[in-house]
Structure 1
Amino acid sequence: MSADWKQRPEGGGRFAIWLIRGIARHGGRSIARAFLYPITLYFLLVRGPERRASRTYLTRVLGRRAGLWSVARHIHTFAATILDRVFLLGGRFNGFDVRITGLPELHEVLDRRQGALLFGSHLGSFEVMRVLAQRRPDYKIRVVLDRAHNPAMTQLLDALNPEIAAGVIDAGQDGPSIAMAIKQATDEGALVALLVDRARPGEPALNAQFLGREAPFPTAPWLIASALKVPVVLAFGLYLDGHRYHLAFESFSDSIAVPRQQRAQAVLSLIQRYASRLEHHARAAPYNWFNFYDFWGNEDEGSTPFTAGAPRIVAIDHADADAAVQRRVAVRRGP
């Protein structure tokens, strides 16, 4: 990609995040929401790269030239979901109207007590899935999170819900360590939630069609799912407006298989299926897209465009990666 999203400063910084936390906790959600307008104005005026990325995305998803008002609405939606984290992570669900679809299918998967992978994205709010803990407190949910890239959010999570924070699987580890931690969690019957729409710099990725152009998606989640042979469920926590959310679960596969002989084609097929569902929900709730960087790559700025044709594998060989996971899984299981 033309821009390294990991190099962008964390939105708002520690001071802004803790300020809004204090206002939300002591003044309530209604008062805190009034502060979203100056926050939106700040990002609109000061954060040029994010503003341009928003306009590019909105132009694609809306099918028309996105104006400044649309960009402002996009940023305001993002700020609203950040504010709601304070309440959702703290278990304060009163006042939220969350419509859930696909819950029976998710219950069916988890009731097998074999563990599962919950694939989410930077579309909407991942934290709204905490309502599951209210509906089914017997579920154990583990979240994969890059602690180093989100220090303010990590500290906020530690303060609001130490139990969730203690169960976080650090995505900043090396690949095999992450895979082993995920396997251990699923062996314990946990639902492991991770975001699979953003490729880390240098991470293996394949290009899939998304909103009319090819974009890179990470391959590691699909290789891990193939190695662990656990069900995969897609999740989209879409912010609608005010206090309303739509939490959608979709069963993706009971067990993913990636043949070694057609590895790239099989993984690409899985990623394309996922990208198609991501596009469906992005078009349904266009202002919920929170990847504020050049997701596709910009040829005009001198970056290398993603070309159509055979899938391109980046950084490492998938066979080696999958073999490493399989070896570690075998060691974990014993002789």
Structure 2
Amino acid sequence: MSHWQQREGGGFFAIWLIRTVGLGLGRRTARLLLWPIALYFFLRRATERAASRLYLARVLGREVTNRDVFHHIHMFASTLLDRMFFLARGERDFQVEVEGLPALDRWLDARTGVLLLGSHQGSFEALRALGQRRPDVSLRVVLDKQKTPALTTLLEALAPDVGAAVIDASLGGASVALAMAEGAAEGGMVALLADRGHRLEVSRTAPFIGTPASFPVGPWLLASALKIPVVLCFGIYLGGNRYRLIFEAFSDGINIPRANRAEALDAIIAHYAARIEHYCRVYPFNWFNFYDFWQEMDGAHAAATSAPPPVQHADA
């Protein structure tokens, strides 16, 4: 399958700069820096620009302009900046609407443990707002620390308690499964993203915005092993300082029988992909998989990655 390799543009220096300016001068001042930063990446990162254009053409169903692509990149930059503020200050800088909380509360109240599955839409960090609403329940997030060393350093510096609760996906399947099981056994929440696979990871295809795409099977095998309720979660960015945290009941417990494992996985992943597609269509500029998700860039890459004409700022 096509896989994604993280490139932390700007690395540690960019993270240090945003952290210093953001926390020192405030979010409003830091957001002003996003315009030149987003423009820089729009001009310099041809592969990501092409991937954005191809995705937006699918989901918008029209010709994609440079303004659209720039807006997409700027939205992504905004959520990265806000990640820092969520970690350092919780939700006090934001207006966070919560939808579907009863779908989650019934399992949290029962202390069964809950698996939260999200996607690379909006900000998964908006889940931190849930901690102020349910301080009685722990949250552990699966994160590959080796893929994003600069952001991992930021996480551990701004919120040591949150960093300590991260389950490092790079440690391997057995260690991750054990840590997730321990979190669930305490009646807490364990969370991970299920839409992006890595090299050599087993995947299945499912219909997604008009064309089959590959999705990793690992999250669903973990869900089947944990035998706990599964709730989908999306931290949608609405612009400015507004987020919408959405919870959807997905399953009382995933069961993948050995006898027809492939068919069961296909049905589960197709259901998950359909829900992601729904939110892509409602909030198209919140999808942040800037790589060849449908493996279609060979023919379109040359045209899409050519030097773009001047771009106008888009509202965010």
The one-character-per-residue Cα deviations of 1:270-329 (angstroms, maximum 9, x if unpaired) are: 000000000001111111111110111027459xxxxxxxxxxxxxxxxxxxxxxxxxxx
Question: For residues 183 and 265 of structure 2, what CA distance do their matches in structure 1 show?
Answer: 23
Matched, 1:110 2:144: no
> Counterpart amino acid of 1:120?
G
Q: What are the Cα deviations for residues 27-72 of structure 1, in whole angstroms up to 9, with x where unaligned?
A: 1111111001001111011111111111011111101121110000
CA distance in 2 between counterparts of 1:199 and 1:243 reads: 30
**RMSD in angstroms over aligned alpha carbons?**
1.5
Structure 1: segments with no counterpart, 5+ residues? 303-335
Specify the alignment match of 1:62 in structure 2: 60
Alignment counterpart, residue 72 of structure 1, candidates 70, 74, 96: 70
Q: 1:13 — aligned with what? A: 11
Secondary structure of the 1:215 match is strand
Shift of 1:91: 2.6
Distance 2:169 2:299 in 1: 30
Matching residue of 1:153: 151
Q: Secondary structure at the match of 1:35?
A: helix
Partner residue of 1:29? 27
1:272 is matched with which residue: 244, 256, 270?
A: 270
Aligned to 1:124: 122
| Cα 1:144/1:261, change in 2 over 3 Å | same
After the TM superposition, which residues 150-229 of structure 1 pair with which residues of structure 2 at under 5 Å, given as runs? Answer: 150-229=148-227
Aligned pair count?
A: 301
| SS of the residue 2:236 aligns to | strand
Instruction: Give the match's secondary structure for 1:148.
Output: coil
Aligned amino acid, residue 197 of structure 2: A
**Structure 2 spans left out of the alignment, 5+ residues:** 301-316
Q: TM-score, normalised by structure 2?
A: 0.92
Change (3 A) 1:109 1:27: same
| Residue pair 2:4, 2:196 contacting (<8 A) in 1 also | no
Measure the CA separation in 2 of the matches of 1:169 and 1:243: 28
Describe the shift of the 1:299–1:164 C-alpha distance in structure 2 as closer, same or farther (beyond 3 A). closer
**Matched letter for residue 251 of structure 1:** A
Task: Quote the Cα distance in structure 2 between the aligned partners of 1:162 and 1:251.
Answer: 31
2:308 is matched with none
1:136 counterpart = 2:157? no
Moved over 4 A (4+): none
Q: Which has the higher contact order (CA 8 A, sep 6+)?
A: 2
Distance in 2 between the 1:126 and 1:11 partners?
A: 20
User: Which residue of 2 is the match for residue 238 of structure 1?
Assistant: 236
1:56/1:299 CA distance change after superposition, 3 Å: closer
